[in-house]
Amino acid sequence: MIEFEDVTKRYPDGTVAVDRLSLRIPSNEITVFVGPSGCGKTTSLRMINRTIERTGGRITIDGEDINAKDPVVLRRGIGYVIQHAGLFPHRTVVDNVATVPKLLGWDKKRTRDVAMELLERVGLDPKLAQRYPAQLSGGQQQRVGVARALAADPEIMLMDEPFSAVDPIVRHQLQEELLRLQRDIGKTIVFVTHDIDEAIKLGDNVAVLRVGGKLAQFAPPAELLAN
Ligand code: ADP
Ligand code: ADP
């Protein structure tokens, strides 16, 4: 479980992006942060892997304050997927996925096997493994981004508008595949979107933020709809 206790982020210019946010993100479920542009979704997400440092309150993972951990060790257990997959342009698809296993010093065969298995899991045709990112469609690049984030077998996946830049049909496929993947491998997924329909479709729980970084609601989709 990831717990936010009275978490605040005040940027150096005085902007309060997240204001005393408290919520519990259960393990092995999908929790979605939704709300209008500027309501603090990305800031909330990035405080979990400490690519943004909180300025108040506490964030714990399984009871341990994340600030007590070495950020490098913390991030090894947390996959991160962003809107434009952020792939390394000069590495092939399979080498992109193998980035972290290589850093961890896995042997070549194991690294390749794991990378190919992950590509299959995210629904990418293995024939594309030797291509470069620019030779893939937007949807295919996002699949590679998800596979790369899964490569170190993290317990937690942070996903920041991962499907917003692809066309509606591909987005629908990627959403279905994420739900299937999550059923298969049971990660703790924290997912950011500005799209309420996507939040309702994907979330086991939905945190609705409003501008100023305050929590408006936190509930399973069925309860949100009832209100
Ligand atoms: P969202 O992801 O919901 O669009 P963000 O977390 O990106 O929102 O931003 C929340 C608020 O913090 C916005 O008002 C944004 O302009 C502000 N903000 C984001 N990054 C910075 C920064 N580095 N310095 C100052 N203000 C920032
Ligand atoms: P999308 O609508 O998902 O963005 P694209 O029109 O970009 O799809 O790509 C359609 C197909 O063409 C995909 O299967 C992709 O692999 C292939 N493709 C796109 N760009 C290139 C390229 N530069 N070289 C080879 N194949 C490409």
What's the gap in Å between 211 CA and the centre of ligand 1?
Answer: 10
- Average pLDDT score over residue span 81-90: 88
Structure tokens at 194: 């500005």
Q: Name the residue with the closest Cα to ligand 1, atom 21.
A: 11
Mean pLDDT of the chain: 93
Q: Whose structure tokens read 């409003």?
A: 210
pLDDT in tens, 103-150: 888 898 999 999 999 999 888 999 999 999 999 998 899 999 999 999
Looking from the CA of residue 213, the nearest atom of ligand 1 is 10
Q: Are strands 56-61 and 30-34 parallel, antiparallel or unpaired?
A: unpaired
Q: Name the residue with the closest Cα to ligand 2, atom 21.
A: 135
Identify the residues whose C-beta falls under 6 Å from ligand 2.
Answer: 134-140, 167, 170
Nearest ligand to the C-alpha atom of residue 8: 1
Q: Using pLDDT thresholds of 50, 70 and 90, give the confidence band for residue 28.
A: very high
DSSP-derived 3-state class of residue 165: coil
Identify the residues whose C-beta falls under 6 Å from ligand 1.
Answer: 11, 13, 15, 17, 35, 37-43
What's the gap in Å between 21 CA and the centre of ligand 2?
Answer: 41
Nearest ligand to the C-alpha atom of residue 35: 1
Looking from the CA of residue 46, the nearest atom of ligand 1 is 6
Phi, then psi, of 83 in degrees rounded to 5: -60, -55
Q: Using pLDDT thresholds of 50, 70 and 90, give the confidence band for residue 227.
A: low
- Average pLDDT score over residue span 22-30: 97
User: Distance between the two ends of the chain, CA-based, in angstroms?
Assistant: 26
Q: Name the residue with the closest Cα to ligand 1, atom 14.
A: 38
Question: When comparing pLDDT for 22 and 83, which is higher?
Answer: 22
